[in-house]
Amino acid sequence: MKRRRIAASISCGVSFLLLTCGDAPTPPPSPSDTNIVVGIPEAKTDLENGLDQFLRLLTFESLTNNGADGRPVPRLAERWEWENENTRLRLFLRPNVILHDGRPFKGDTAVAVVRSAITNRTNVTNFPALADVATVSAEGDELVFDLSHPSATLPEALTVPLDKAESPVGTGPYRVIEQTDTTATLEAFDRYYQGKPTINRVGVRIFNTLRSASASLLRGELDVVYDVPADGVEFVRNDDIDVISVPRWYQHVLTLNVSDGRFKSPLVRRAFNLAVDRAAIVKKVLRGAGEPSGGPIYPRYWAFDPDVPNYAFDPITAAALLDSAGYRMPKLARDGGAPARLRFTCLLPKDFTVWERVALEVQKDLFNIGIDMQFKVVPMEEFGTLVSEKKFEAAFIDIISGPTPTRTYMWWRSAKAFKGRNVFGYENQDAEREFGILLRSTNDAAIRSSTSRLQRIFHDDPPALFVAWDARARAINRRFVVPGDSRDPMWTLWKWTIASPRRIALDK
């Protein structure tokens, strides 16, 4: 089970379980004034655009959330304070929070639910601060976390959903009343602490393709298409549909097996990063819904240093670096084909169209400096297994990298010193030192300085070829008024209201 768990998480950043995703033979009830029907296209995972993840979005909550700049913000915890020289964190819980089974979220009940979440093996791997928690206890409406040593990133680690495995009872605005492999029905939780949801029922349908989900939306069988890639917006946009862009904490990355001698030299990996025209890829493939990536640190993180240079598109310098690393361009190919200074095979998951299109553009740019990258396309389940077992030369992945350096640490921390997500073989002791500062320091100035140094380290010794951050969209029928107070409109679905006929007419 351990191997399967790690393999799954490689595919999209945290946990990746394949679902059997056929179009639902029996759809939930049609949209009505108090119901919403959501379609999820290409739902191959349970992380971002799969059924299970979507249900957690509406049913389970966390003690804290991540703000747009990566700072933790309150959720079930109203505020928190550090004590005992940053070895104790005291959280002040919101009053009147009720679990779906009617129990108040406080005291021993809250301790049991929280302890289950923070000791979950996957959560501890993804958020190293959780391993520093020695005890959790309750003092009235407060939760007290005693730590083995200072762990500054604990507040951001408490963004893990409180979905206690042995007793999955949430605190969110909805609860699931029926679920199959391809459909689900949720009903409003009347005792939700922020107020009764205005939308009484949410139906969810899984679709094999964006095209089939879009057709259902246009026929009025859906109110929302949940996850629309940039190249799919044209299929859903019309006078009756709003398309709302949602920035993601993921970026397209060509990961390299640094244990392979061909990729050990930082000069080679720097050449890879200089060879790719990121701006052209964002414009051509992502339709402008994204931005070029300069490394593994999220550019909207509050401590990000914009003065650290990004990689320019500079194929001439890239070729010179390869020459310096000993990979000179041959005049003739040994096999009679096109000459190449370096050849390798890149794993690519089957049926991930955006990944494929970005990877093809990267392939063209690399070929222009004499690098021959060929693809091995495999089903996602096999892709995850091959990567987790380090049976790859390179792999193209859409990988979570934000909003904080904790996500970067998850992938690029020392593989020798820690058992985690770094199956790529990257080792850099300078990066380890800066990670240590970021994980322990609560001083803003120290965090800014360390983040800047970490960015420069990754620029000089890049662990992979970082291509582009992208965005997705939510397609929503204009008969709904969607509050604009969150990064993702789906987070506030419980507050949506019905638009007046006059407003709908004016919007058109």
pLDDT tens-digit profile of 115-145? 999 998 888 888 989 999 999 999 989 999 9
Residue 21 pLDDT: 35
Give the tokens for residue 262: 């061909």
> How far is the C-alpha of 34 from the C-alpha of 399, rounded, in Å?
37
Going by pLDDT thresholds of 50, 70 and 90, the confidence category of residue 247 is confident
The domain in which residue 42 lies consists of 35-58+172-228+478-507
Tell me if residue 357 falls in helix, strand or coil. helix
Residue with tokens 């000179």: 328
- Please indicate, yes or no, whether residues 265 and 335 belong to a single structural domain of this protein: yes
Give the tokens for residue 133: 């928690």
- On whether residue 315 sits in a domain, the answer given is yes
**pLDDT over 70, % of the chain:** 89
Going by pLDDT thresholds of 50, 70 and 90, the confidence category of residue 112 is very high
- On whether residue 241 sits in a domain, the answer given is no
CB 273 within 8 A of CB 281: no
Residue 167 pLDDT: 56
> How far is the C-alpha of 217 from the C-alpha of 231, rounded, in Å?
17
Give Cα separations from 134 to 119, 121, 142, 198, 238 (angstroms). Answer: 11, 15, 17, 41, 54
Q: Is the dihedral of CA 326, 423, 356, 313 positive or negative?
A: negative
- On whether residue 21 sits in a domain, the answer given is no
Residue 486 pLDDT: 80
Listed residue (409, 452, 455, 451) closest to 432, CA to CA: 409
Residue 230 pLDDT: 79
> How far is the C-alpha of 53 from the C-alpha of 183, rounded, in Å?
13
Residue 53 pLDDT: 85
- Please indicate, yes or no, whether residues 269 and 324 belong to a single structural domain of this protein: yes
- Please indicate, yes or no, whether residues 53 and 65 belong to a single structural domain of this protein: no
Per DSSP, 48 falls in state: S
Listed residue (23, 24, 7, 18) closest to 45, CA to CA: 18
- Please indicate, yes or no, whether residues 313 and 188 belong to a single structural domain of this protein: no
Q: How many domains does the chain have?
A: 3
Burial label, 360 (beta-carbon count in 10 A; 0-12, 13-18, 19+): middle
- Please indicate, yes or no, whether residues 369 and 496 belong to a single structural domain of this protein: no
Write the CATH number for 387: 3.10.105.10
Among the ranges given (28-32, 199-203, 208-212), the one the predictor scored with the smallest mean pLDDT: 28-32
- Please indicate, yes or no, whether residues 148 and 181 belong to a single structural domain of this protein: no
Contacts of 467 (CB under 8 A, 6+ apart): 251, 252, 253, 254, 276, 278, 281, 292, 293, 358, 362
- On whether residue 349 sits in a domain, the answer given is yes
Phi, psi of 432 (to 5 degrees): -60, -40
Residue 58 pLDDT: 95
Residue 22 pLDDT: 37
**pLDDT over 90, % of the chain:** 67
Residue 28 pLDDT: 44
Mean pLDDT of all residues in 480-507 = 82
CB 282 within 8 A of CB 292: yes
Contacts of 136 (CB under 8 A, 6+ apart): 111, 114, 115, 118, 143, 144, 145, 146
Is the model's pLDDT at 248 over the cut of 60? Answer: yes
Residue 46 pLDDT: 35
- On whether residue 7 sits in a domain, the answer given is no
- Please indicate, yes or no, whether residues 369 and 397 belong to a single structural domain of this protein: yes
Write the CATH number for 493: 3.40.190.10
Write the CATH number for 153: 3.90.76.10
Q: Which residue has the higher pLDDT, 122 or 296?
A: 296
- On whether residue 74 sits in a domain, the answer given is yes
- Please indicate, yes or no, whether residues 118 and 254 belong to a single structural domain of this protein: no
Is the model's pLDDT at 48 over the cut of 60? Answer: no
- Can you give the length of the chain in residues? 508
- Please indicate, yes or no, whether residues 189 and 260 belong to a single structural domain of this protein: no
- Please indicate, yes or no, whether residues 110 and 130 belong to a single structural domain of this protein: yes
- On whether residue 165 sits in a domain, the answer given is no
- On whether residue 73 sits in a domain, the answer given is yes
CB 362 within 8 A of CB 315: no
pLDDT in tens, 414-460: 888 777 789 999 999 999 999 999 988 888 999 999 999 999 999 99
Residue with tokens 């996500």: 407
pLDDT in tens, 367-418: 999 999 999 999 988 999 999 999 999 999 999 999 999 999 989 998 887 7
Bridge partners of 466? 253
